A and B are shown apart, each in its own frame.
Chain A
Amino acid sequence: MSAKSKLNQMKAFIKKPHNIILVVLLVVLGYLTLVPLLTIILDTVTVHSSEARFVKKPVGSLTLYHWTKMFASGVTSQKTFYEPFVNTMVVAFLSCVLAILIGGFFAWTVTRTNIRAKAFISTVFVFPYIMPAWTLAMAWLNFFRNSRIGGAPGLFTVFTGMETPNWFAYGLFPIVIVQGLHYAPFAYILIGGILRNMDANLEEAAMLLHANRIQIMMKVTLPIVRPALLSTFLLVFSSTMSAFAVPAFLGSPVRYQVLTTQMYRTLNGMNPGYGYIMALVMIVIGVGILMLNQWITGRRKSYTTITGKSSNISLFNLRKARTPLTILLVTILMMVAILPLASFAIESFIMAPGDYSFSNFTTEFWIGKGRADIANSEPGILRNPSIWLGLTNSLKLSIIISLIAGTVGMLSGYAIAKRRGSRLSTWVNNLTFFPYLMPSMAFGAIFLSMFAVRRGFIPALYGSFWLLVIVGAVKYLPFASRSGINAMLQLSGEIEEAGTIMGVGWLKRMTRIIFPIQKTTFISGYLLPFISCMRELSLFILLVSPSTRILTTLLFQYNEKGWNQYANAINLMIVVIVVGFNLLINKLTGASIDKGIGNN
């Protein structure tokens, strides 16, 4: 090939905006995701200052110290790694099973039976997922805490006089229940989507061929949704595996450690090398899960076209069970979605914890000036400057992150879909999804170590607000890019080409043609990072400094100090903002978080 034709090829390549987007993303994301990964690996074999004494090697030199300590040092390994690892797997597995059973049952009931109040169930069922994960954990403590952690017992004990046993109040059991309930909506949305799109004719055909209800379920419905069910299982598994807040709240009173809580201890403490090994283990499992998922969905028997006329679904007649079942489901929903909020409100208004008599109610923790005898004269949260700072920081951070992640996600979706099948596009696609697999806390820790010093043109960012922005934007890019890709794949290329032929410029094509058509999907791409960021704890917990603290980290601090009322009040505030914002956007644009959830 002559030099001139090569040059012309280059020119033609650069002339297309989607090529430029892909190349820029490849470089930037490569730097922000692959370099951290290398840093992690390097960190696991490097001597850190705090441990130089034990290793007997100069700081910064190579060592296998962490790896041997972690995997092959008898009781130490057992305590630091193997036990938390097994706990993590058990928690993740059981939570997953629970989430799928609950979510699947609700999904089947809403899409396939004639139950009442479908709209209400659909809307409210998603609440536990929109709310921060620890919401239910805190509610659990509000109801069931016993005297073990000191202080007052929970509502249950107050009203019944029975002391809850430890296994019920803390550790594996409540963690599984709470995580299962938190991720049940996720399963509900995925499974519900499949059932809604699944051609009812497939079931009717079986019925006409003399199959009974059970045979239809076992031989037709379940096998058809099985790949999707498995992939739901895997996605929920990877989420529960890397969850931090719930085990931290419910596990620590009885020293029930999982990988993430161990990671927090080690990364926050003296031995980051250990933490990074745990992070690596989790990343490996995450990648393994993703590959398994791709293998399952790409097999011969599975198929993508489950479309069809689904308008004709013949609903399963519940007959006499209709009203009782409706009441049962609505009651369960009230208990997991509405009651926790009520408990936060109540807890934030009582003076002495555990005493729910009317005379004990106070507005001190909301609007009090602060009293010397309570919580080091911390003022009530509505006149507390550090809370206001946290709130503004949280909002500012979430808005900036959602703008960046949403826009980049949309552009990457556009470019990936345009060049679908090419190697460049596949790489960028995988890179934009990679942050999803990184456990949040490890991701935060890496950025901490990476940007603590000046790197090229990027100044040292430790303690700066922009460090939080970068971490959040990269971490939540997968949400936005998934919706971006989905939006673009639904759109025929000809729609944009029609604009190109009429000489409409690229920017105008994007803003006047493509964005308006797929508005709701793109807005979901902005909404999801915003909401995730508003309620994120583990990603930022290692990165905040006093001036950049946000609501969630404040909540965690208050909780650690045992200032229950403040923590409850802040939690209520976060939930109200997140749920309110979701409803507002939903009303204004029709976009909603549940549409986004279905995409990833």
Chain B
Amino acid sequence: MPRIELQHITKKFGKFVAVDDLNMVIDDRSFVTLLGPSGCGKTTTLRMIAGLETPTEGVITINDKIVFSSEDGIDVPPDKRDVGFLFQNYALWPHMTVYKNIAFGLENLKWSKDAIKTRVEELLAMLKISEFAARYPSELSGGQQQRVAIARTLATGPKVLFMDEPLSNLDAKLRMEMRSELKRLHRETDSTFVYVTHDQLEAMTLSSMVCLMKNGYMQQYAPPLEVYRKPANTFTADFVGSPNINLVEGMVLQGKPLILKITNQVHLSFHPKTDIAVEQGQAIVLGLRPEHIAVLEQESDVEAEILSSLPSGMETIIALSMDSIRLHSVVFGDIDFEVGKRVGLSFGDGIFNLFDKASGRNLGQGTLSRV
């Protein structure tokens, strides 16, 4: 089964380290996203697995077969790795019709004319582009080109499919549509998808595993909801979720029971779910997901003032000032709030993450209450 394994993969461009000592396992039939800001090494990683880029160091195994090893000097060329690649700009050949574009790979595999015709028509139908078969790419819209590119990649039936920000050139509505399309294809083709994106929403909604990267380092490799619930550090906490998590700085006032000092006025009591090792006076960062801050008309855990209210119908995003610290909260339902009003904030049902300020590492989870 096509299980992909990366061991100590490093890629340097001159002195610049694009990917640093990356280890990961991509399971068969999973949908893995490589997520991170631009320049974090995610595209390079993808290209290295596909064989388009040569790693400086490390071992890559696909389906228990070593396709790259810097030590043993193994470097299997991309076309022998049995992988498909979907490029960000589609890379459709402008001088070939849609039909020719899709048939190209099959012709190279010396399929018979009839077999090619059957296969291409099947793909055209699958991606709902049958009527464009005779057109040239420049005569298609972005979304249609995208579908042709997908059909071309799927034609030879690769067991692993790599996608490099395939939706970033589409408008918002099409992107939405293509997302569900990709999820459907993943199920139908029964193959492994590795997907690069900088859009956390795409990563959250599509994938079975998210690999978050920053400056060439892997930050966290976990299922999307776990990344959301229990981010490994402040970077992943901040990168995932919209509106962003509130990262509030403070210090440990007292170790047991744990009391956090946020400002001179605001002190909160943290009830860990597991053992947490902190020292008195340690600088910390408290992560508060916006939906876990309840805004109440009465006195509650802490007091705050409403700075702005952005109702969108389904939910309202509120900016708050808690003793001059800015917080965001999301309240569900079509409610609007009066700017300048003083309200109470409750942390009642949320589970919050506590980070070490110096290293950014997650120290542990717990609930909050007033002291």
B242 within 8 A of partner (CB): no
Taking A223-B95, A224-B93 as contacts, is the C-beta distance between A208 and B85 under 8 angstroms? yes
Closest to B81 in A: A208
Complex interface: chain A residues within 8 A of B105 (CB):
209-211
- Which of these, B52, B89, B104, contacts A211 with CB under 8 Å? B104
Within 8 A of B (CB), among A205-233: 205-211, 215, 219-220, 223-224, 226
User: Chain A residues near B217 (CB, 8 Å)?
Assistant: none
The interface residues of chain B lying within 8 Å CB-to-CB of A309 are 88-89
What separation, in Å, do the CA atoms of A204 and B87 have in the docked complex?
10
Let me know if A312 is at the binding interface, CB within 8 A: yes
Residue contact A202 to B91, C-beta cutoff 8 Å: yes
One of B77, B87, B136, B137 near A201 (C-beta < 8 A)? B87
Which chain A residues in 285-327 approach chain B with CB under 8 Å? 300-303, 305-306, 308-309, 312, 314
Partner of B79, one of A210, A219, A300, A312: A210
Q: Which of B77, B91, B155 contacts A199 (CB 8 A)?
A: B91
Question: What CA separation (Å) do A205 and B139 show in the bound complex?
Answer: 20
Given the known A-B contacts A211-B104, A215-B108, are A300 and B85 also in contact in the complex, defined by CB atoms under 8 Å? no
Tell me the bound Cα distance from A208 to B83 in angstroms: 7
The answer to whether B108 touches A201, judged by C-beta atoms less than 8 angstroms apart, is no
Given the contacts A210-B105, A210-B109, A312-B47, A204 and B89 also touching, CB distance less than 8 Å = no
Which residues, 23 to 82 on B, are CB-close (under 8 Å) to A? 47, 50, 52-53, 77-79
Q: B156 within 8 Å of A by Cβ?
A: yes
Given the interface pairs A202-B91, A204-B91, A308-B91, the reply to whether A211 lies near B108 with Cβ below 8 Å is yes
| Chain A minimum-CB-distance residue to B156 | A209
Q: List 5 A-B contacts (CB under 8 A).
A: A204-B52, A204-B87, A300-B139, A303-B138, A308-B91
Total number of residue pairs linking A and B with CB closer than 8 Å? 76
Question: Given the complex of chains A and B, what is the CA–CA distance between A206 and B155 in angstroms?
Answer: 13
11 new A-B contacts at CB < 8 Å, known A301-B94, A314-B53? A207-B52, A207-B79, A208-B50, A208-B78, A208-B85, A210-B105, A211-B79, A215-B108, A301-B95, A305-B138, A312-B52
Tell me which residues across on chain B come within 8 A of A207, comparing CB atoms: 52, 77-79
Question: Does A303 contact B94, Cβ atoms closer than 8 Å?
Answer: yes
**Contact between A210 and B108 (Cβ–Cβ < 8 Å)?**
yes
* A205 touches which of B47, B53, B87, B95 (Cβ 8 Å): B87
Shortest beta-carbon distance, A114 to chain B, in Å? 12
Within 8 A of B (CB), among A169-220: 199, 201-202, 204-211, 215, 219-220
| A302, B95: Cα distance in complex, Å | 7
In the complex, what residue of chain B is closest to A206 when comparing beta carbons?
Answer: B104
Closest to A215 in B: B108
Q: Is there a chain A Cβ closer than 8 Å to B287's Cβ? A: no
Contact flags B295-334 to A (C-beta < 8 A → 1, else 0): 0000000000000000000000000000000000000000
Give a binary string over B91-106; 1 marks a CB under 8 Å from any A CB, 0 the rest: 1011100000000110
From 119 to 162 in chain B, residues with beta carbon under 8 angstroms from any chain A beta carbon are 136-139, 152, 155-156
Residue among B52, B53, B87 with the highest chain A CB neighbour number at 10 A: B87
State the Cβ distance, B254 to closest chain A Cβ, in Å. 53
Closest B residue to A317 by CB, please name it: B54
Query: Considering the chains assembled together, what is the distance between the CA atoms of A205 and B93 in angstroms?
Result: 9
- B216 is an interface residue with CB less than 8 A from chain A: no
- How many angstroms between the C-alpha atoms of A301 and B109 in the bound complex? 26
Contact call A224/B94, Cβ cutoff below 8 A: yes
B residues near A204, Cβ cutoff 8 Å: 52, 78, 85, 87, 91
Give Cα A208 to B105, complex, Å. 8
Least CB distance from A226 to B in Å reads 8
Q: Does any Cβ of A come within 8 Å of B84's Cβ?
A: yes
Please, which residues of chain B bring their CB within 8 A of the CB of A301?
94-95, 136
Q: Shortest CB–CB separation between residue B102 and chain A, in angstroms?
A: 10
Tell which of A206, A208, A215, A312 touches B84, judged by Cβ atoms closer than 8 Å.
A208
Cross-chain contact A209 with B94 (CB below 8 angstroms): no
Taken together as a complex, chains A and B put the C-alpha atoms of A220 and B52 apart, in Å, by 17
Query: Which residues of chain A are within 8 angstroms of B77 by Cβ–Cβ distance?
Result: 207
CA distance A211 to B94 in the complex (A): 17
Residue of A nearest to B108 (CB): A210
Chain B: minimal CB distance from A339 (Å)? 35
CA distance A301 to B95 in the complex (A): 5
Bound-state CA distance A134–B121 (Å) is 60
B152 to chain A, nearest CB (A): 7
Taken together as a complex, chains A and B put the C-alpha atoms of A588 and B86 apart, in Å, by 43
Contact of B52 with A202 in the complex, beta carbons under 8 Å: no
Chain A residue contacts of B156, Cβ below 8 A: 209-210
Bound-complex Cα distance A155 to B338 (A): 95
**A202 to B108, alpha carbons, bound, how many Å?**
16
- Complex alpha-carbon distance, A554 and B25, angstroms: 76
Complex CA gap A202/B52 in Å reads: 12
Contact A308 B95 (CB under 8 A): no
Contact residues in B for A201 (Cβ distance below 8 Å): 87, 89, 91
List residues of chain A with CB within 8 A of the CB of B50: 208
Q: CA–CA, A220 to B152, complex, Å?
A: 15
What 5 A-B pairs have minimum CB-CB distances, sorted nearest first? A209-B105, A201-B91, A210-B108, A303-B94, A205-B91
Q: Which residue of B lies closest to A222 (CB)?
A: B95
Instruction: List B contacts of A223 (CB < 8 A).
Output: 93, 95
Residues of A within 8 A of B79 (CB): 207-211
Interface residues of B in 194-233 (CB under 8 A from A): none
A393 vs chain B, min Cβ distance (A): 50
Tell me the bound Cα distance from A151 to B50 in angstroms: 67
Contact in complex: A220, B47 (CB < 8 Å): no
- A211-B79, A301-B136 are known contacts. Are A205 and B85 too (CB-CB below 8 A)? yes
Provide the residues of chain A in CB contact with B104, threshold 8 Å. 206, 209, 211, 219
In angstroms, how far is the closest chain B Cβ from the Cβ of A525?
Answer: 31
* B155 contacts across to A, CB distance below 8 A: 209
* In the complex, chain B residues whose CB is within 8 Å of the CB of A226: 95
- Which chain A residues border B85 with CB–CB below 8 Å? 204-205, 208
How long is the Cα–Cα vector from A314 to B75 in the complex, in angstroms? 14
Interface centre among A202, A204, A205, A306 (most CB of B within 10 A): A205
A197 to chain B, nearest CB (A): 13
CB of B78 to closest CB in A, whole Å: 5
A306–B90 alpha-carbon span in the complex (Å): 12
Most buried by B among A210, A215, A309, A312: A210
| Chain B positions within 8 Å of A308 at CB level | 89, 91
CA gap between A201 and B79 in the complex, in Å: 14
In angstroms, Cα B136 to Cα A525, docked, is: 36
Complex alpha-carbon distance, A303 and B90, angstroms: 15
Distance from A440 Cβ to chain B, minimum over Cβ atoms (Å):
37
Min CB gap B166→A, angstroms: 12
Chain A nearest Cβ from B210, distance in angstroms: 24
Q: How far is the CB of B52 from chain A (nearest CB, A)?
A: 6
Given A312-B52, A314-B53, verify A209-B152 contact (CB < 8 Å).
Answer: yes
Shortest CB–CB separation between residue B294 and chain A, in angstroms?
46
* In the complex, chain A residues whose CB is within 8 Å of the CB of B91: 199, 201-202, 204-205, 308
For the complex formed, measure the closest distance between the CB of A223 and the CB atoms of chain B, giving whole angstroms.
4
Determine the chain B residues whose CB is within 8 A of the CB of A224 once the complex forms. Answer: 93-95
When chains A and B are docked, how far (Å) is the Cα of A597 from the Cα of B189?
50
**Nearest opposing residue in chain B for A205, CB measure:** B91
List residues of chain A with CB within 8 A of the CB of B136: 300-301
Neighbour of B52 across the interface among A209, A303, A314, CB < 8 A: A314
Q: How far is the CB of A269 from chain B (nearest CB, A)?
A: 51
Residues of A within 8 A of B84 (CB): 208
Docked-complex contact A209 and B108, CB < 8 angstroms: yes
